[in-house]
């Protein structure tokens, strides 16, 4: 598979290669020089820090049905 380098030195990574390496928009990649002189493209593994809000994310339970909510708003509870 061959690609063309633009005047700015940019290339488009072919989709089969992106799929193989798991490269998606926003991914970081690096170019490494192998011992035999080849240049290797590799994704950089980055783990996103867990946000303080993600730790709180969850489900509070079943909740109230419509009749219970209406009773609360009417002061019947």
User: Are 13 and 33 within 8 A, CB to CB?
Assistant: no
Is the pLDDT assigned to residue 3 strictly greater than 70?
Answer: yes
Global model pTM greater than 0.95:
no
Give strand pairing partners of 40: 32
CA atoms within 13 A on the CB side of 24: 3
When mean pLDDT is compared across 8-12, 42-46, 53-57, the lowest value belongs to 53-57
pLDDT digits (tens, 9 = 90+) for 46-68: 766 667 777 777 766 778 888 98
pLDDT given for residue 77 in this prediction: 62
């Amino acid at each position: 598979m061959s690609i063309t380098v633009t005047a700015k030195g940019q290339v488009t990574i072919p989709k089969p290669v992106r799929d193989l390496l798991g490269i998606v928009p926003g991914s970081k990649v690096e170019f490494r020089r192998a011992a035999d002189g080849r240049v290797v493209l590799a994704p950089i593994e980055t783990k996103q820090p867990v946000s303080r809000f993600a730790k709180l994310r969850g489900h509070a339970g079943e909740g109230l049905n419509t009749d219970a909510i209406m009773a609360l708003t009417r002061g019947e509870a």
